[in-house]
Chains A and B, each alone.
Chain A
Amino acid sequence: MAKAVIDEKFCKGCGLCFTVCGKKLLKAGDKANAKGYYFAVQTEDDKCTACSLCAIICPDAAITVYK
């Protein structure tokens, strides 16, 4: 099953990935990383299409997409 996995070490919580996911699967999580950023998490990964738009727009190369 497809999914996008966010590496909390690199995510800065910028939210750009939230804006491009057509299924609205990405949001800020409730945990902060070592830099203090509330890193993104994917909800409902059964709806992910592995389109990779989130990973393409991520300035911090924090997202791995699986299919």
Chain B
Amino acid sequence: MDVVYKRSGALSDVSTTYCPGCSHGTAFKLIAEISEELDIVNKLVFATPIGCTTFSAPFHKFSTFMSAHGRAPANATGFKRCNPKRPVIVYQGDGDCAAIGTGESIHAAARGEAFTVVMANNQVYGMTGGQMAPTTLTGQKTTTTPNGRSVEACGYPIRMAEQIAQLEAPRFVTRQSLHTPKNILQAKAAIKKALELQINEEAYSFVELLCACPTNWAIEPSGIKEYMEKNVIPYFPLGDLKG
């Protein structure tokens, strides 16, 4: 019997701490598969954020460093400038990337630092109990917007990929989603392209992934597809914004 799909060898033999159905697991799986395909498992450096993926080092075989909340693009700038041959993925939540770390995110992109940012946009602060994030949808109930996010009080949710795409230096900016097998494969192709541009052309690239946090959305994983199509994708359109 031939194996047609198996668990990536770049993942550790360890069960993650993520909730059932959490997209962080899917994103990690794709990065692991890509690192094997590009033969960079031993070279890839995974910069972890603060959020549900902070303590993710045991889940995979890459080198890692952790940064203070939102500061991974700044630390990755220093690391990459000193180690230009190491491919670097800066993995960030939407809160990490687009709230506390907005300054670091925008300026690293404006400078065109030679790394790839993967922003896992689940529209909440997952780790701390589901508070409103800058990406929380208008009307979305969170622990800090119990009646739903209002424009009057909170303004509009930020589309981070669009912010990054209007800068000169970024070479490839895209928004993908992880809610169906087809979208997962498209997201994989996008992350791979982003990494290849980094490795071959020293380019900055940004991949926003629409992710599910079934725990803080208070839905069953089986409802993720409908929730994404009805609520999330209409506000955060999918596709390449640049490159």
| A binding-site residues for B, Cβ under 8 Å | 1, 3, 7, 9-10, 12-16, 18-20, 35, 37, 50, 52-53, 55-67
The docked-state distance in angstroms from the alpha carbon of A3 to that of B21 is 22
Type the 1/0 row for B1-36, where 1 means its CB is closer than 8 Å to any CB of A.
111111110010001101111111110010010000
B4 touches A50 (CB 8 A): yes
Q: Select which of B1, B4, B24, B221 is within 8 A of A16 by beta carbon.
A: B221
- With A10-B15, A14-B20, A53-B181 given, is the CB distance from A65 to B222 under 8 Å? no
List the count of A-B residue pairs having beta carbons below 8 Å apart: 81
If over half of A's interface residues share one DSSP class (helix, strand or loop), that class is named, otherwise mixed; here it is loop
Which residues of A have CB within 8 Å of B180? 20, 57
Asked, given contacts A13-B20, A15-B220, whether A7 binds B7 with beta carbons under 8 Å apart, the answer is: yes
Given contacts A59-B25, A60-B16, A60-B25, contact A20 B181 (CB under 8 A): yes
Task: Assess whether A62 is in contact with B7, with CB atoms less than 8 Å apart.
Answer: yes
By a CB distance below 8 angstroms, the chain A residues around B7 are: 7, 10, 61-64
Chain B neighbourhood of A19, CB < 8 A: 222, 225
Contact partners of A65 in chain B: CB under 8 A: 3-6
- A contact residues around B6 at 8 Å (CB): 64-65
- Determine whether the beta carbon of A52 is less than 8 Å from that of B5: yes
B3 & A66 in contact (Cβ 8 Å cutoff)? yes
- Indicate whether B173 reaches chain A with its CB closer than 8 angstroms: no
Among candidates B3, B8, B220, residue contacting A61 with C-beta atoms closer than 8 Å? B8
User: With the chains together, A60 CA to B181 CA distance in Å?
Assistant: 14
Q: A45 to B224, alpha carbons, bound, how many Å?
A: 27
Chain B residues in 8 Å Cβ range of A58: 29
CA distance A60 to B12 in the complex (A): 11
Residue B52 interfacial (CB < 8 Å): no
Q: Which of A58, A62, A65, A67 has the most CB of B within 10 A?
A: A58
Given contacts A13-B20, A14-B20, A57-B184, contact A67 B1 (CB under 8 A): yes
B19 contacts across to A, CB distance below 8 A: 12
Q: Please indicate the chain A residues that have their CB under 8 angstroms from the CB of B154 in the complex.
A: none
